[in-house]
Amino acid sequence: MTGDASGHGPDEYLLEELLTQAHAAAPMDLPALVSRFASAAGLERIDVYVVDLQQRSLVPMSEGPPALDIDSTYAGRAYRALALRIEETRGERLTAWLPLVDGVERLGVLGVRARSLDSTVLRRCRMLASVLAMVITSKRAYSDSFARRTRSKAMQLPAEMLRAFLPPRTIGNSEVVSTAVLEPAYELGGDAFDHSLTPSTLHAVILDAMGHNLASGLTTAVAMAGCRNARRDEADLPELVETIDTALARWLPDQYCTGILAQLDLSKGVLRWINCGHPPPLLIRDQRVLKAALERPGEPPMGTPAGLAGAHRTVHRQELRPGDRVLMYTDGVTEARIDDGAEFGLERFTDTIIRATAAGEPAPEALRQLIHTILEHQHDELRDDATLLLVEWSPQEM
pLDDT along the chain (398 residues), means of 10: 46 73 79 83 88 97 92 97 90 89 96 88 88 88 87 92 94 96 89 96 96 89 97 96 93 94 97 96 92 92 75 92 95 73 78 81 91 81 84 85
User: In degrees rounded to 5, what are phi and psi of residue 296?
Assistant: -140, 165
Cis peptide leading into 184, omega within 30 of 0? yes
Handedness of CA 13, 15, 19, 22 (dihedral sign): positive
Q: How many CB atoms lie within 10 A of CB 113?
A: 18
The predicted structure's pLDDT at residue 3: 46
Judge contact between 231 and 240, C-beta under 8 A: yes
pLDDT at site 8 = 46
What confidence score (pLDDT) does residue 115 get?
Answer: 84
Apex 257 CA angle, 282 and 205, nearest 5: 45
Residues of the chain with CATH 3.60.40.10: 155-393
N residues, the chain: 398
Of the options 3.40.50.1110, 3.60.40.10, 3.30.420.40, 3.30.360.10, the CATH number for the domain spanning 155-393: 3.60.40.10
Determine the pLDDT at residue 172: 97
* CATH class entry, domain 10-148: alpha beta
In the 8-state DSSP scheme, what is residue 154? P
Rounded to whole angstroms, how far apart are CA atoms 393 and 168?
Answer: 18
Looking at the DSSP bridge assignments, the partners of residue 258 are 208
* Stretch(es) of the chain classified as CATH 3.30.450.40: 10-148
pLDDT at 1: 39
Q: How many Cα neighbours within 13 Å face the side chain of 164?
A: 15
Cβ burial of 314 (10 Å; 0-12, 13-18, 19+) is middle
Please give the pLDDT value at position 311. 67
Q: What local confidence, expressed as pLDDT, does residue 57 receive? A: 98
Best CA proximity match to 302, nearest among 257, 269, 339, 265: 257
Distance between CA atoms of residues 208 and 224, nearest Å: 11
What is the Cα–Cα distance from 10 to 295, expressed in whole angstroms?
58
- Residue 9 has a pLDDT of 53
CA-based nearest residue to 194, from 173, 180, 208: 180
